Chains A and B, each alone.
Chain A
Amino acid sequence: MPHLRIGRALAYVAAIAISAFILAPIYLITISAFSSFDAVYDYPKNLLPTGASMESMNTFLDSDGVTDSLQRSIYVAIIAIVACIAIGTPAGYALARFSFRAGNPFQLALVSTRAFPLIIIAVPLSVTYLRVGIDDTVYGVAMAHVAFTLPLTVLVTASVFAGISYELEEAAMTLGCSRLSAFRKIALPLALPGVAASAIFVFVTTWNEVFAAALLTLRNRTLPAQMLAALDTSPLPYRLAGGFFLLAPALLVIFLIRKYLLTTWGRVAR
């Protein structure tokens, strides 16, 4: 079956090419972030992680405002995740379980929020923030991020709940559960992988979001906004170390939750 073998080989080649395309920059950023200044400026580049050093990383971390903005980024991420899950999960459940008037238009409206680029609302948004007085705060940025990610969280959790048979909850109700405890004991545990996926999505979005963060803050910037402001005035090692900082947590979180996303209760979830 030469055809099949060629097909397989092509598939492998494609897979390797795609992986290399994604992994190569990550690799280069990582070794540069942990090398000396000289190694960063070396040309041709040494592709092996020899001469590992904390010089670049320390420079970056010691730079003005980096640790503070890192802390703010973490706060914003936590607030955004908690708010998105707390609001999005019940909303998704309601969309999946109850038929109500305007249910479909509502879903369409949720999708359509993704159709508008942020630039369109940049001016009204910052004016509103200034008026309300939440400009240049962690909460303000977190709120903007919640606004970006909540619609998708609702849609994702809605589809997750729609995939869980309502009969399971009804069975729990006949066995002594109230509506709420049936949700808590049956629907929620079964939906957790989907909810976790939404949380990752929120985290990755908020950790890397730069436009709103830069627009809405001046002194209290998150890490991406801080880096954006400092980008053209900072040396290459600073940028590479910063790039690593934006990259690493997102990768780490996905790796940690990956197992939970793929395998549930002894079988690979679809």
Chain B
Amino acid sequence: MAEIRFEGVRKTFGKFAAVDGVDLEVRDREFVVLLGPSGCGKTTLLRCLAGLERVDEGRVYIGNRDATDLPPRRRRIAMVFQSYAVFPHMKVYDNIAFGLRMQKEKKAAIDERVRSSASLLHIEELLDRYSSQLSGGQRQRVAVARAIATKADVLLMDEPLSNLDALLRLEMRAELKTLLQTLDATTIYVTHDQIEALSMGDRIAVMNKGSIVQLGNPLEVYDNPSDTFVGGFIGNPPMNFLEAEVAPNGSGSVAKVSGGSFELPGGTAALAGHDLLLGIRAEAIGVETSPADGLVRATVVVLEPLGSHNLLTVRCGEDTLKVAVRPELFPQPESDVWLRLEPSRIRWMDRDSGAAIHTGAEELATDTAVVTS
């Protein structure tokens, strides 16, 4: 049983606050991903949890124990490092056995645990090798096997897949997720790869400049970003942001962007008095090849066929947007298309603060078809 709780954690290096007042609660056996650009403090936060960095302010609790002043070895954690940190002067077997030997386990128990961990990661035949005789992917497996062998309460992973090539990363991602589901450990996983975060985590904590800016399940974070940073960081392509104005019009209102205007249904009172940004995901924009009411005209700049869908870059007035369309649709560059900015899929943001403004009319992506036409 290991819940994790950060209370007002702050860590500075000189004058630079790498972690600046983080509060976070992680449930027992939950898989939380710390996601953010490099330098956002996610690794530092993880190292504070591991005990490899001392926090300057705040407390860290692991399994209801105040772990703030405990050294790493007393925290019942295991960690997978970005560089794997496989001990080069020991064979794979001894690497995996290292933590168990430190716990003074019996020899037979160590042997059993080393072999079962190795078989979980399919490296039984490598036990006699040294680190220098392994490929990057194999080293990665050794590092994970070593971490899970001790059956620690908390498993910490610091960008474990970032040094693998793309194909291997894809493979390992699914394998790691499957593996972690079978373990009883609470997992904190650091990555800058938003796809990894979306695909693996129970919840994602998006970090920026030393703070957690949004905490939620993957779909929530993807579809309802708390501010323009999250919307721009998560998703490939990132969320589109357009400067917009909203004016009341009869029972509803009219939204105006630089490329045109369209009707909004009611429930937009919250938007009054703000300088607005209209945020919308590429796949939430409908594309028509002929004009109709409520559509906004745009000109195709580039068409990128990606197999599963086509990605359009279009100019709409003064804005450039990314739009995902059906793979059968091939609008030629310089041709005109008409965009349907689905009101329920629009996320309104305050232009100055970047924070989301909730109107109560938002629907999640699952409520509507992903690609409409």
Residues of A within 8 A of B (CB): 165, 167-168, 170-179, 186, 189-190, 264-267
Contacts and interface: CB of A to CB of B under 8 A. Distances in A.
B102 to A, nearest CB: 3
Contacts of B132: 265-267
Interface string B133-164: 10000000000001000100000100000000
A172 B81 contact: no
A265 B73 contact: no
B50 A174 contact: yes
B102 A176 contact: yes
Nearest to B146: A175
A167 B81 contact: yes
Contacts of A176: 73, 98-99, 102-103, 150
| Highest count of chain A CB atoms <10 Å: which of B102, B103, B150 | B102
Interface string B84-105: 0101110000000011001100
B130 A165 contact: no
Given A175-B98, A190-B89, A170 B52 contact: yes
A146 B150 CA distance: 45
A270 to B, nearest CB: 12
B17 to A, nearest CB: 19
B81 A177 contact: no
B72 to A, nearest CB: 4
B52 A173 contact: yes
Contacts, number: 69
Contact of B133 (A170, A174, A266): A266
A170 to B, nearest CB: 5
Contacts of B98: 172, 175-176
A174 B79 contact: yes
Measured as residues with beta carbon below 8 angstroms from the partner, the interface class of chain B is 20 to 34
| Highest count of chain A CB atoms <10 Å: which of B85, B98, B103 | B85
Contacts of A170: 50, 52, 72, 79, 81, 85
A172 to B, nearest CB: 7
A264 B3 CA distance: 43
A178 B73 contact: yes
A90 to B, nearest CB: 20
B78 interface: yes
A172 B79 CA distance: 10
B320 to A, nearest CB: 42
Contacts of A267: 130, 132
A9 B191 CA distance: 54
A167 B88 contact: no
Contacts of B77: 174
B78 A175 contact: yes
A171 B71 CA distance: 13
A190 B86 CA distance: 12
B89 A175 contact: no
A96 to B, nearest CB: 17
B88 A173 contact: no
Contacts of A167: 81-83, 85
Contacts of B85: 165, 167-168, 170-171
Interface of B: 50-52, 71-73, 77-79, 81-83, 85, 87-89, 98-99, 102-103, 130, 132-133, 146, 150, 156
A171 B149 CA distance: 14
Nearest to B98: A175
15 contacts: A170-B52, A170-B72, A170-B81, A170-B85, A172-B98, A173-B52, A173-B73, A174-B51, A175-B73, A175-B146, A176-B103, A176-B150, A178-B71, A179-B71, A265-B88
B133 A175 contact: no
B72 A173 contact: yes
A172 B101 CA distance: 11
A200 to B, nearest CB: 21
A168 B79 contact: no
A234 B85 CA distance: 60
A195 B356 CA distance: 59
Contacts of A266: 130, 132-133
Please name the 10 residue pairs, one residue from A and one from B, whose CB atoms are nearest each other, closest first: A176-B102, A175-B99, A171-B85, A167-B85, A174-B79, A173-B72, A176-B73, A174-B72, A267-B132, A167-B81
Given A167-B81, A171-B85, A178-B71, 15 more contacts: A167-B82, A167-B83, A168-B85, A170-B52, A170-B72, A170-B85, A171-B79, A172-B98, A173-B72, A175-B78, A175-B102, A176-B150, A186-B87, A189-B89, A267-B130
Contacts of A165: 83, 85
Contacts of B133: 266
A175 B152 CA distance: 9
B154 to A, nearest CB: 10
A188 to B, nearest CB: 10
A168 B99 contact: no
B89 A174 contact: no
A28 B214 CA distance: 80
Contacts of B82: 167
A269 to B, nearest CB: 10
B100 to A, nearest CB: 9
Contacts of B150: 175-176
Contact of A171 (B51, B81, B89): B81
Contacts of A173: 51-52, 71-73
A176 B151 CA distance: 13
Contact of B87 (A168, A178, A179, A264): A168
Nearest to A168: B85
Nearest to A186: B87
A177 B83 contact: no
